[in-house]
Amino acid sequence: MSLWTSSDIAAATGGTATADFAADGVAFDSREVGEGDLFVALAGEQSDGHRFLDQAFAQGAAGAIVSSDTTHPVVRVADTFAALEALARAARARVKGRVIGVTGSVGKTSTKEALFAALDRSPNRRAHRSVKSYNNHTGVPLSLARMPADSDYAVLEMGMNHPGELAHLTTLVRPHVAIVTAIAPAHTEFFPDESAIADAKGEIFRGLEPGGIAIVPYDSPHRDRLIAAAHPYAGKIVTFGLDKRADVHAAEVMPSPRGGTFVGAKVGARELSMTIAQPGQHWVSNAMAVLAAVDAVGADLALAGLALGELGGLAGRGARRDVAVGEGRALLIDESYNANPASMRATLAVLAQEPGRHVAVLGEMRELGEGSAAYHEALAPAVMAARVEMAVLVGEAMAPLAQALEGKVDFVHVRDAAAALDQVRALLRPGDAVLVKGSNGVGLSRLVAALADKVG
């Protein structure tokens, strides 16, 4: 069965179909269009998708949503972005399965992927999720539009960097279960303080379906604020975390001899023993959120434990690679996708547990506003606690950290990722453990790709 037919699309968007067609996927980036996809020609500030119609159809598009004339098979609408949102609402309306929304300052993509892996193991059940980090005003409706009508579970990530964004996105997703993973300084350029960030994340609860379940981090200093935000909308509020007073918590935690962490978890009155493949205390917290959500939708906790035990690292979010260095190998920990003060400290703590010489390639943290200098400087204790022997600091905003590390940790401070790559290639030795972490705009993913391709 096709994901969308031209008549379905016309009915959902109020548009006019110029030909009959059926699509099996949806894309708004012409570079990602595959055989049988629907291409949504969005008009953005930098580029207009209508310019790439020929390319999209050359790559196999079955049809498109457009707002101008073309000879290709399309559905013509007045506004293609409004049409994408309308398609998203239609997709959500036809799904009878359980929908889970995930947000948070840190951990939302990792939690989304782990939760999908847990639910996808359910026998005779179909699970859907947001791909990549499609969690903004265009990514969320795209992820909904891609959702098959017969989905039993859907896990949809929602992000924001301004107040009010989640309030809108959650009305599209209409989750049965809404998770806030954690609150931390992120996008502080747009918020006066962390409490305001918590309020913005708490907007996710406004879209809960009647009787829906809110899942809140017990260990957060903003726990009570989030619970208050959930109360008017949630039929039930569940807490998770490391604290034994949380409804879902890690009662026992110890390093696993094979890497990762062994956890004895309590989910209400039930107990579950499992090994989490990914190392770090932050992953233990993520896992408790996953168990809380799996329990909330009535899925199998034991299968969730197995999924967490087999979950590999995500590119840019903890993926581990052995890379060639001269006649030996080094461990590369790829955390290059994003960074804020909380995630920096969490991943430095993971580096601290690794054998060998510790090298940290740390890119600047962006969108921190007036507090940026203080946030960067405050990373110094975490760098030293991680026993970093050589740090490569990338970007102008890293200057306060460089000053704080002077005389305490060997470091170089460079302007950009290209200069950082030259430094890393020169200093790496066999047996090193290398952490690469920074805001996505710094471009450290290119450094990771280059190191993984060939070092030394």
Q: What CA–CA distances, in Å, run from 283 to 29, 110, 139, 181, 317?
A: 32, 9, 25, 11, 11
Q: How far apart are CA 303 and CA 422, in angstroms?
A: 45
383 labeled binding residue: no
**H-run or E-run covering 196:** helix 194-201
With beta carbons less than 8 A apart as the criterion, state whether 286 and 114 touch: yes
In the chain, the amino acid numbered 215 is: I
Give the integer Cα–Cα distance in Å for 413 and 26.
43
E strands along 269-318, which residues?
270-276
C-alpha dihedral sign at 134, 452, 449, 60: negative
The span from the CA of 201 to the CA of 373, in Å, is 25
End-to-end CA distance of the chain: 51
HSE at residue 158, side-chain half, CA atoms within 13 A, is 34
Cite the beta strand spans of 306-420 per DSSP E.
319-325, 328-335, 358-363, 388-394, 411-414
Strands, E assignment, 367-447? 388-394, 411-414, 433-437
Is 318 annotated as contributing to ligand binding?
A: no
Q: Where are the alpha helices (DSSP H) in 121-177?
A: 139-145, 165-173
109 a known binding residue? yes
Whole-angstrom Cα Rg for the chain: 23
**Judging by DSSP bridges, how do beta strands 328-335 and 319-325 pair with one another?**
antiparallel
CA distance 103 to 109: 8
Q: Is 107 marked within a binding site?
A: yes
260 appears as a binding residue in the annotation: no
201 is in an annotated binding site: no
Q: What is the DSSP string of 257-270?
A: TTSSEEEEEEETTE
Which of 229, 219, 209, 213 lies closest to 184, judged by CA? 219
Please tell me whether 104 is known to bind a ligand: yes
- Do 398 and 376 form a contact (C-beta atoms < 8 A)? yes
Task: Identify whether the C-beta of residue 109 lies closer than 8 Å to the C-beta of residue 317.
Answer: yes
Q: Which two tokens stand for residue 398?
A: 């890293």
List, as residue ranges, the binding site for ATP. Answer: 104-110
List, as residue ranges, the binding site. Answer: 104-110
